[in-house]
Chain A
Amino acid sequence: MRTRLKIAVASSKGGTGKTTVATSLALALADAGSVEFLDCDVEEPNAHLFLKPTIERREAVELPVPQVDEAKCTLCGRCAEVCQFKAIAVLKDTVLPFPELCHGCTGCWVLCPEQAISPAGREIGAVESGRAGRIGFHHGWLRIGEAMSPPLIRAVKRQARQADFTVLDAPPGTSCPVVESVKDADVVVLVTEPTPFGLNDLELAADMVAALDRPAAVVINRAGIGNGRVSDFCRSRGLPLLLEVPFDRRIAEAYSRGEPLVAAFPEYLPKFAELCRSLQEMARR
């Protein structure tokens, strides 16, 4: 039973219930072993509203960006040539970095033949860590106006201590921040709703996890609305449909009060425990 398991909860559509599922999963797992919870939605973290952690540390996160020593620079243009993000430009007799476009890849300062470029820190946000009961809790806050979230997500992931279970709550979508959150998970839970919107976005998310070669399972939230096409899709793609949470006003009310699903409705605890067991099985295969 003591296998280390990393579960990412993702959804290509926002507002499907990722956090509802991730927080309840973490609370259910806390009965079986140590749990670390990582809210990777650094643009709009919200898991703390449900798990209500006591924050013990806060740390600024910086991204290394180029700083040019004009005295050493020969304007050779190598830096601008290697930058895939157009974050540094050579213009007449000067080199102009655009730190807000820089992904911190290190290319320009590693490859500068004159060693005229060195890394300087640019603050992109902060990570906070603490405890929510038995659960180790970590999340990040991206600086307002900042577009570069993957480095901050990596920083959130670095905070996690060794534990029996790690639950990552991914940001919505299928782009870089989501890939960063799910790429090293043992298993990915895709949360969706049984509507045409949910299906469209589930197809995108399923393709993303397939491209990352991660095993995935589906949880349907708000079951009872929409139609049966999400279930058909899961069958056709061989995605196990492991749990359905019904569309129920009482669940929405508990959510609006910041109560985790399994705390407000303890009858869901065994269902989430069962979900955990199935995920563990999948990861073992």
Chain B
Amino acid sequence: MKIAITTSGKDLDAPVDPRFGRAKSFVIYDTESDQWSVLDNAQNLNAAQGAGIQAATAVVKAGAEAVLTGNCGPKAFRALSAGRVKVYAGVSGTVREAVEKFLSGTLRPAAQASVGEHAGMGL
């Protein structure tokens, strides 16, 4: 399966971006082949509104079935749920560490948004 990890860099050693909608980019990681690619999210970084919805649309289009991130707001969570993408919030460290934690099965999917509206706008 493919998983999307929010990051402020563009490789596996970059840190996990704590924001979802306004993350700099996503690493799309294929757990079967261990291949990965970077999905740019710059257009949403400064969006006036709907950054989380747009980011969720992009992640769903990329075929990801899970998102690893720091926090995820209510609209992004609704959109990801509609696209049947599981959200794993509270993830930190590097992208590589996040993938390892995911593969080890220690992460639990969130049942709801981890932060309120617009939490990513002040960061």
Residues of A at the B interface (CB closer than 8 Å) are 80, 85-87, 89-92, 94, 96, 98, 101
Residues of A within 8 A of B56 (CB): 89, 91
Bound CA span A89–B82, Å: 10
What does DSSP make chain B's interface, helix, strand, loop or mixed?
A: helix
Bound CA span A71–B99, Å: 38
Bound CA span A86–B57, Å: 10
Interface window among B6-14, B30-38, B47-55, B101-109: B47-55
Bound CA span A92–B60, Å: 7
75-104 of chain B: CB within 8 A of chain A? 75, 78-79, 82-84
Which of A80, A85, A89, A91 is the most central at the interface, judged by chain B CB atoms within 10 Å of its CB? A91
B84 touches A86 (CB 8 A): no
B49 touches A91 (CB 8 A): no
CB distance from A164 to the nearest CB of B (A): 40
> A86 is contacted by which of B54, B78, B82 (Cβ under 8 Å)?
B54
Residues of B within 8 A of A101 (CB): 49-50, 53, 75
A92 touches B49 (CB 8 A): no
Q: Which residue in chain A gives the minimum CB-CB distance to B79?
A: A89
Bound CA span A47–B43, Å: 42
CB distance from B114 to the nearest CB of A (A): 19
B50 touches A91 (CB 8 A): no
CB distance from A12 to the nearest CB of B (A): 20
Bound CA span A110–B8, Å: 39
A90 touches B57 (CB 8 A): yes
Residues of B at the A interface (CB closer than 8 Å) are 47, 49-51, 53-54, 56-57, 60, 75, 78-79, 82-84
Which of B53, B54, B60, B82 is the most central at the interface, judged by chain A CB atoms within 10 Å of its CB? B53
A86 touches B53 (CB 8 A): yes
Starting from the known contacts A89-B56, A91-B82, A101-B49, 20 additional A-B residue pairs (CB-CB under 8 Å) come to A85-B49, A86-B49, A87-B50, A89-B53, A89-B54, A89-B82, A90-B57, A91-B56, A91-B57, A91-B60, A92-B83, A92-B84, A94-B83, A96-B78, A98-B50, A98-B53, A98-B75, A98-B78, A101-B53, A101-B75
Q: List 5 A-B contacts (CB under 8 A).
A: A80-B57, A85-B49, A89-B53, A91-B56, A91-B79
B54 touches A94 (CB 8 A): no
Bound CA span A94–B54, Å: 15
Bound CA span A96–B83, Å: 10
CB distance from B29 to the nearest CB of A (A): 19
B79 touches A85 (CB 8 A): no
Bound CA span A94–B85, Å: 13
Residues of A within 8 A of B47 (CB): 86
A96 touches B79 (CB 8 A): yes
CB distance from A145 to the nearest CB of B (A): 10
Bound CA span A7–B105, Å: 66
A92 touches B82 (CB 8 A): yes
Residues of B within 8 A of A91 (CB): 56-57, 60, 79, 82-83
CB distance from B55 to the nearest CB of A (A): 10
The 7 closest A-B pairs by CB, nearest first: A86-B50, A91-B83, A91-B82, A96-B82, A92-B83, A86-B53, A91-B60
